[in-house]
Structure 1
Amino acid sequence: MGPRKLRTRLRELGLLNHAGELISTERGQGRLFVDTRSRWNPAINSYTHYGVVMATEAGIGWLAEQLGITVTKKDAAA
């Protein structure tokens, strides 16, 4: 599943809003969070700030379940 398809599916599940931001009810649940980043934008001679939605370790299994993806756990020795 590519990034565009994943974002579309997360919007369908109600986890992202129309702007691609994490909905407020998911914040603080311990599954998903927003990592804030910035980049230099030479067009406006200033930094542009944006957020990237990330999943915690616990959130990966939960998100896979929501998306209908089977996760196989690897052996700790591997």
Structure 2
Amino acid sequence: MNRDLKTTARVLGIGERYLRSKLKLLNQAGELLLSPRTDGRLFTDTRARWSKSINGWSHYGVVMVTEPGVAWLAQQLGITVTNKDAAA
């Protein structure tokens, strides 16, 4: 199960802002920096929405965390996760 950063923070029992501040794999715009450390743990899911103001599609990326990524983030932050499904 892949989770966005907001849901991942909830699973880890911390706030989304705290997770983003501790996550050194994001740039100033909140986009994922590609790194060998992110392989299989974090990825960017591209999405689109219709924008009436420009009368076209607006594309954006959402940082997603895989199951191994949740365990890896917990280890990096020194957090113990007991039940991932109950938190999400």
The alignment of Structure 1 onto Structure 2 pairs a total of residues equal to 71
Q: TM-score, normalization: structure 2?
A: 0.69
> Which protein, 1 or 2, shows the higher relative CO under an 8 Å CA cutoff with sep ≥ 6?
2
Quick one: which amino acid aligns to residue 41 of structure 1? S
Q: TM-score, normalization: structure 1?
A: 0.76
Structure 1 portions without partners, runs of 5+: none
Percent of pairs with identical residues: 62
Cα gap change, 1:40 to 1:26, in 2 (>3 Å): farther
Q: Which has the larger radius of gyration?
A: 1
Q: Partners of 2:58 and 2:72 in 1: how far apart?
A: 31
The structure richer in helix per residue is: 2
Structure 2 portions without partners, runs of 5+: 1-13
